[in-house]
Structure 1
């Protein structure tokens, strides 16, 4: 069985530790834990590893957030991964910092990366792991907030929260979206 795990984020050192890049941070940790590294590929940095008989492909789109669908669509077709085996890891303003929720499908909720994926893969029927980044910003400053770095206190908590995300990804690949949701969702 093949799985495509997509960490959403923006390339470039100026975005590295920003809230919008939590998807990159999670797949980076998955690669590290499974002794693999990313290589440059078409529309994305790509890595893969085997886990409990599953072939797990990780990608970090290099298209920037708003065009993430190009990378997802390309790698789904290239690797022949069915949509039900795709999981997108994304930041979520509607969840308190560190809370995590997996969903089998859902709306983009205004997230441009998810909008792009919906447009280019033909709908919103793919799993997503939403990582809460909170909403502590003044009205009209959403873009500044998501592109800012985590606070010192949040950075201290990130390893534990990212570890939970990694566990959720591996659970998705081995036990499925529904069991993962009931076991892990905040």
Structure 2
């Protein structure tokens, strides 16, 4: 089993904000006809989906972004999942709008949700898929908690769909293969080399 954690903040106030693109990717995966319904467990909304023979356990922590590690730790402990079978999906203000970057490991890079997961897991040896939400013009908090402008919506919807495909590819082929495929696609589409 693979665990896919989408980071975001719970509640209608935060739906479809920049900080919640991780939730959006998990919701996209949960829309599959092979997915079960979300249930409250592990301080999260969780669902299972079977994609191409791979069982994915989808997680949307309800602890708010900065405390996401609590929920992730509970899931990892309960299912006795190794960090190599974990993929965390989140926003990234250092990437251009809609660009994906997948890494096998790394630091939190200033992202408080990743920082808390790192603290609870005791390290950085888990994969992460970051989705660019563009750099803030002014206040970073207002930026990430704000909704996308109408002109940005199509690009972010495309990025969410591509990220969902990347998650399934990761589950089937592994982190190196998904990095080679999707980071290379980002470069081919005019983005900088993100490997």
| Fold in common (TM above 0.5) | yes
TM-score for the superposition, normalised by structure 1: 0.95
Paired with 2:15 and 2:161, the residues of 1 have a C-alpha distance of 18
Partner of 2:190: none
Cα deviation for residue 51 of structure 1 reads 2.1
Q: Deviation string for 1:128-185 (max 9, x for gaps)?
A: 00000000422xx000100000110111223321110011000110000011111111
The answer to whether residue 55 in structure 2 is matched with residue 85 in structure 1 is no
Partner of 1:148: 146
Partner of 2:40: 40
Cα deviation for residue 116 of structure 1 reads 0.3
Q: Deviation string for 1:7-34 (max 9, x for gaps)?
A: 0000011000110000000000000024
Cα deviation for residue 35 of structure 1 reads 4.3
The RMSD of aligned alpha carbons is 1.0
Paired with 2:32 and 2:65, the residues of 1 have a C-alpha distance of 25
Paired with 1:51 and 1:77, the residues of 2 have a C-alpha distance of 23
Point out where structure 1 has 5 or more consecutive residues left out of the alignment: none
List aligned pairs for 1:20-39, cutoff 5 A: 20-36=19-35, 37-39=37-39
Structure 1 residue ranges, 4+ long, deviating more than 6 angstroms after superposition: none
Paired with 1:38 and 1:143, the residues of 2 have a C-alpha distance of 28
TM-score for the superposition, normalised by structure 2: 0.91
**2:93–2:133: 8 Å Cα contact kept in structure 1?**
yes
Partner of 2:99: 99
SS at match of 1:119: helix
Paired with 1:51 and 1:29, the residues of 2 have a C-alpha distance of 13
List aligned pairs for 1:52-63, cutoff 5 A: 52-63=52-63
Partner of 1:163: 161
Partner of 2:175: 177
Greater displacement, 19-28 / 44-53? 44-53
Paired with 2:49 and 2:133, the residues of 1 have a C-alpha distance of 28
**2:2–2:56: 8 Å Cα contact kept in structure 1?**
yes
Partner of 1:110: 110
Point out where structure 2 has 5 or more consecutive residues left out of the alignment: 187-195
